[in-house]
Amino acid sequence: MPDVVYVLLTVALFGVLGLVVRAVERL
């Protein structure tokens, strides 16, 4: 099983969540 794929998806998900949080804080 390519565990690396899941790790990359998790990192990308947290990255998107971080951008969303920053966008919400600016409002």
Among 12, 1, 9, which Cα is nearest to 20's? 12
* CA 18 – CA 22 distance, rounded (Å): 6
Entry pTM: 0.59
Which residue do the tokens 């990255």 mark?
A: 15
pLDDT computed for residue 1 by the predictor: 67
- Residues 1-27 have pLDDT tens digits of 689 999 999 999 999 999 999 999 998
DSSP state letter for 2: -
